[in-house]
Chains A and B, each alone.
Chain A
Amino acid sequence: MKKTAVVCVVLAGLLAGAALLSLCVGSANLSLGQLFAAFGDESLPAHTIFLQIRLPRVLLAMLVGAALSGAGALVQGVFKNPMADPYILGVSSGAALGAAIGMVFFESSALLPPIAFLGGFGAVSLVWFLSRKGGTVSLLLAGTAVSAFLSAAVSSLMLVDRDKLERVYLWTMGSLSSATWEKFFSCLPFVLVGLSLSLFFCKDLNAMLLGDEQAQSLGVDAPKVRLIVTLLSTLVAAAAVSVSGVIGFVGLMVPHGVRFLVGPSHERLVPVSALAGSLVLLVVDTLARTLLAPSEIPIGVLTALLGAPFFLVLLRRSLKEGGVA
């Protein structure tokens, strides 16, 4: 318990520091003093950079990181499988297809989150159905196959509407470069509500890690909880995808690290993963927009560069142990 508190305080401190740093760096570097001056004075050019460009981007990166990592912790619990995350289970590509359909056929961006949710939930249901009798490997195979199909569908859509091609293409690689207050506030309620409601099911998820039968004998209606938590985690992940595109592996890596720090109990794992995820994605996004400045690396490319090797190491270890990691 004490350890968890220490971890939270350290993460919150790092997050505050990273946020300040991220607000300062960019195409126009600001000092902390300029930053605070710009906050109050509308006449300064830094005021617009700060309030209309950097602040929404920093907050959106934190929100998306929290959403993907919280959702990752939840799906790992639901699937009793530490190799699961919204990206690997096809939630992200399903949500991406939904959102791409939304971008091509509808003009309104308000429709994106619900369509993304439907796409994400459809994909995770299909993966679940295909792999329900098997272990880690069949889950990963089903997720990979479904993701590949859905990504191909997104690519086909881009050919249908060449005008929007570039926008959709950039978005399939994940990017926070078009962060706005509007995006932040369209995503925020889904993430807050989804993650808050999921806290009601943390003890149930702990028991379900022991298997459905034991969970049931501890008073947990396992099939019902699995459905509810899948819906909640899909809602959270799809909301993130609808504003940031496909950003993989964050939902896999962060809960892993956090489990190492605070143990497998979900009442700690889920909130601490959300906190750590917001820190990780903020740092990665800051790197994405500064490493090769003035051009930007799509953040999904960066998380995949870091995350895929991590995933392979985990997979190798878990296959060696003859089970899940």
Chain B
Amino acid sequence: MAAYALEAEGLCLRLSGKPIVRGVDLHLELGQAVGILGPNGAAKTSLLRALCGLLPLSQGRALLFGRPIGSYSRRELARRLAYVPQNAGCDFNFTLRQLVRMGRYPHLSRLSAAAPGDAALVEEALAKTGLTAYGDRLARTLSGGEWQRALIARALCQQADCLLLDEPTAALDIAHQNGVLALLRGLAGEGRLVLLVLHDINLAAAYCDHLLLMQEGRGVAFGPPEEVLRPELLSQVYGCPVRSVLDEETGRQLYYGLSPA
């Protein structure tokens, strides 16, 4: 196995001819929890989707365990890398449990409905995301936060080494935000790579061991939170004054923005 789980080298991406990602380098290892931060339009989501093989690169390389992502079949890729999109919905009456069970698809042969042990994995994923009581609910009746957690449960069932999540806390209340991020942090602790786009700087600082700060399609800083989260750099990247204060009880730096001068 290569030293890095997921790498980007000079990764560039165009959408409708317009350059979106303009050269990102990343070298990520298993066991890391990495947050991508940056203002709206910084191409965080596009970078994440490119790393999932959902968008074609215009330049540079994206490697998964040393192999170009484009050289994997969809099925091979889905066994190694799980993607949790930001908003999803479904007009068909799947139950939440059926939805979560789809995470097993990349591991099943074409005609088999389930392998031994799949049911236990599904229940475990439901329990970890706090959805056990909702298993028989129809997916279309779920709230935004329940959907979000269902997609995370599905990604857990995929048993992939790399989890890529697009704002997994966007639709969650603060209790669930912290619950989900602690769960993801724990998965990284078990030796997976967790890469997630976040908007909340404080959550990113609390749960990620590395951060990538992006601006206009480029990475402007990468490193541990305390190195990346410098108020003067954040002010410049976000285009508004950013202040930080120390919460003495937890020892955490908390960040907040002010209205642009």
Cβ of A217 under 8 Å from chain B? yes
Chain A interface, DSSP helix/strand/loop, else mixed: loop
A217 cross-chain contacts in B, Cβ below 8 A: 52, 54, 78, 82-83, 85
A213 to B108, CA, bound (A): 19
- Tell me how far the C-beta of B89 lies from the nearest C-beta in chain A, rounded to whole angstroms: 9
Stretch among B15-23, B98-106, B169-177 lining the A interface: B98-106
Nearest-CB residue, chain A, relative to B107:
A219
Interface string of B79-90 (1 = CB under 8 A from A): 100110100101
Contact B79 A219 (CB under 8 A): yes
Q: Is the CB of A213 within 8 A of B54?
A: yes
B105 touches which one: A203, A209, A323 (CB < 8 A)?
Answer: A203
Q: Is A206 an interface residue (CB 8 A)?
A: yes
Q: With contacts A207-B102, A214-B88 known, is A264 near B110, CB below 8 A?
A: no
B94 CB within 8 Å of chain A? yes
CA A285 to CA B180, docked complex, whole Å = 57
Q: Which residue of B lies closest to A199 (CB)?
A: B111
- Residues in A with CB closer than 8 Å to B94 are 206, 209, 263-265
B77: which A residues are within 8 A, CB to CB?
Answer: 219
Q: Which residues of B contact A263 (CB under 8 A)?
A: 93-95, 98
B91 contacts A by Cβ under 8 Å:
yes
CB closest residue in chain A, given B83: A217
User: CB within 8 A of B102: which of A206, A211, A324, A325?
Assistant: A206
B111 touches A213 (CB 8 A): no
Contact of A214 with B74 in the complex, beta carbons under 8 Å = no
Known A213-B54, A216-B54, A218-B105; judge A259-B74 contact (CB<8 A).
no
Q: Which of B76, B88, B93, B113 contacts A210 (CB 8 A)?
A: B88
Which of chain A's residues 195-242 have a Cβ closer than 8 Å to chain B?
199-201, 203, 206-207, 209-211, 213-214, 216-221
Q: Which residues from A are CB-within-8-Å of B111?
A: 199-200
Question: In whole angstroms, how far apart are the Cα atoms of A214 and B74 in the complex?
Answer: 11
CA–CA, A242 and B199, complex, Å: 58
Are B110 and A203 in contact (CB-based, < 8 A)?
yes
Tell yes or no: A296 within 8 A of B by CB.
no
Min C-beta distance of B111 to chain A, whole Å: 6
Does B230 interact with chain A (Cβ within 8 Å)? no
For chain A, which range describes its interface: under 10, 10 to 19, 20 to 34, or 35 or more residues? 20 to 34
**Pair B92/A264 contact, Cβ less than 8 Å:** yes
CB pair B113–A200 under 8 Å, yes or no, is no
Count A-B pairs with CB separation below 8 Å.
73
Residues in chain A near residue B95, CB distance under 8 A = 263
CB <8 Å contact, B105 and A207? yes
Interchain CA distance A206-B154 in the complex, whole Å: 14
Q: Residue of B at shortest CB range from A324?
A: B91
Tell me the minimal C-beta distance from A82 to chain B in angstroms: 8
Chain B residues near A203 (CB-CB < 8 A): 102, 105, 108, 110, 113
**Cβ–Cβ < 8 Å partners of B83 in chain A:** 217
With most chain B CB atoms within 10 A of its CB, the pick from A210, A264, A325 is A210
Q: Are B74 and A323 in contact (CB under 8 A)?
A: no
Say if the beta carbon of B75 comes within 8 Å of chain A. yes
Determine whether the beta carbon of B78 is less than 8 Å from that of A213.
no
- The reply to whether B91 and A216 form a contact with Cβ atoms under 8 Å apart is no
B85 touches A220 (CB 8 A): no
Interface string of A165-209 (1 = CB under 8 A from B): 000000000000000000000000000000000011101001101
A323-B91, A324-B91 given; A219·B113 CB < 8 A: no
Residue-wise interface mask of B (59-79) relative to A, using a CB-CB cutoff of 8 A (1 in contact, 0 not)? 000000000000001111111
Q: Which of A219, A259, A323 has the most chain B CB atoms inside 10 A of its CB?
A: A219
CB pair B92 A209 closer than 8 Å? yes
Q: Given B73, B90, B98, which contacts A265 in the complex, CB threshold below 8 Å? A: B98
Residues of A within 8 A of B113 (CB): 203, 267
Give the complex CA separation of A219 and B53 in angstroms. Answer: 11
A-B CB contact pairs (8 Å), 11 listed: A200-B110, A203-B105, A209-B92, A210-B88, A214-B85, A218-B158, A219-B76, A219-B79, A263-B95, A265-B94, A325-B91
Other than A203-B113, A267-B113, give 16 A-B pairs with Cβ distance below 8 A: A213-B54, A214-B88, A216-B53, A217-B52, A217-B78, A217-B85, A218-B158, A219-B73, A219-B74, A219-B75, A219-B76, A221-B74, A263-B95, A263-B98, A265-B98, A324-B91
Interface pairs A-B: 9 shortest CB-CB: A219-B78, A219-B106, A217-B83, A219-B75, A264-B92, A200-B110, A219-B74, A209-B92, A221-B74
